[in-house]
Amino acid sequence: MRQSRIGIRHLRCAIGVADAGGFRAAAEMLGIAQPAITKTIRDMEEDLGFEIFERGPKAVSLTAPGRRFIEDARQSLAQFERTIRAARRNETGSHGHVIIGYSALASSGHISDGLRGFEALCPGVQIEMHVLSTDTMMRQLAGGEIDAGFLLSHETVAHPAISQQPVWSSPIGLVLPRDAPDPDFETLSGAPFVMGLRENWRAYRLLLDRLCAEAGLVPQVTEEVWDVQVLFQRVAEGRGYTLYPMDAAPALPASLRMLALSRLRGSLTISMAWNHVADTALLRSFRAQFGREETAHMAR
């Protein structure tokens, strides 16, 4: 069979059109002129032998085979870019580049230990860390935007393309102002609580719901905030308590303290997650730092 003249550029272009929803929009997004898009897409369609896009008068849409192709092309492009990124050395002397996502809840010393080990093994590798919500992290892992992530283990956090492996667990404690008195567990029900917004803290809130229900605790959520910094600030201001993994105690602002709640059973587990299609030598080394990875695995 005649070998294809399609290159990475073509995939970028097609994915751009699919995401932008139009040739002109894609041209702007990719920083090139619109006719170049037209030509690239046409060349690719000719090579593949089918139309990727349906040119409607109002907007373009994917044909059925086009949708399948774009889906595969995303993986292919992500893998390609990972390969380059993992090998590339920049001007500042680092060799290789790994992009990691982590949940705000995972901000304990455990990650640092693993990272230190990785750094010793592969010195000079640049590690880029992004704080992301669990759901965003899953999406970005699936799309290949990040290489690995540390997120909350929860039965609702799953994706066919993503593998997960528990890394550590921590009990949940009560966060309160340093100078506040220890409350009785019974008085907590009905007491004001500040919590992360359900939309962004979905899995953690679900976990807390279950643990609280089991312990007979009914926190009165009087305020919901977007991120951890604000959460702690509000607690420090006396707006209410909040629940947080005990592991994070050392990272707490000086104005706050943590109280173990023996009646609150169960714990929060952080897992490392990665797209099992995402595979470079560098990422294998990285994952190896966080527990043994399965080798040949016999499915089902």
Partner DNA sequence: TCGATTGATCGCAAATGGTTATCGCCCAAG
Partner DNA sequence: CTTGGGCGATAACCATTTGCGATCAATCGA
Site for its own copies contains 68 (CB under 8 A):
yes
Asked if 157 and 151 touch (Cβ cutoff 8 Å), the reply is yes
Site for DNA contains 39 (CB under 7 A):
yes
Site for its own copies contains 113 (CB under 8 A):
no
Q: Which does 84 bind (CB under 5 to 8 A by kind): its own copies, DNA, none?
A: its own copies
37: phi then psi, degrees, rounded to nearest 5: -60, -50
Asked if 107 and 157 touch (Cβ cutoff 8 Å), the reply is no
Site for its own copies contains 121 (CB under 8 A):
no
Q: Which does 300 bind (CB under 5 to 8 A by kind): its own copies, DNA, none?
A: its own copies
Among 7, 123, 238, 253, binds its own copies (CB under 8 A): 7
Separation between Cα atoms, residue 238 and residue 235, nearest integer Å = 5
Helix boundaries (H) for 31-184: 34-48, 64-87, 109-121, 134-143
Task: Closer to its own copies by CB, 8 or 251: give it.
Answer: 8
* Paired tokens of 50: 């089918």
* Paired tokens of 132: 């992301």
Among 24, 95, 139, 154, binds its own copies (CB under 8 A): 95
Among 31, 49, 160, 250, binds DNA (CB under 7 A): 31
Nearest Cα to Cα of residue 258 among 270, 240, 268, 244: 244
* Positions that interact with its own copies (CB under 8 A): 1, 4, 6-9, 11, 47-50, 65, 68-69, 71-73, 75-76, 79-84, 86-91, 95, 158-166, 276-277, 279-282, 291-300
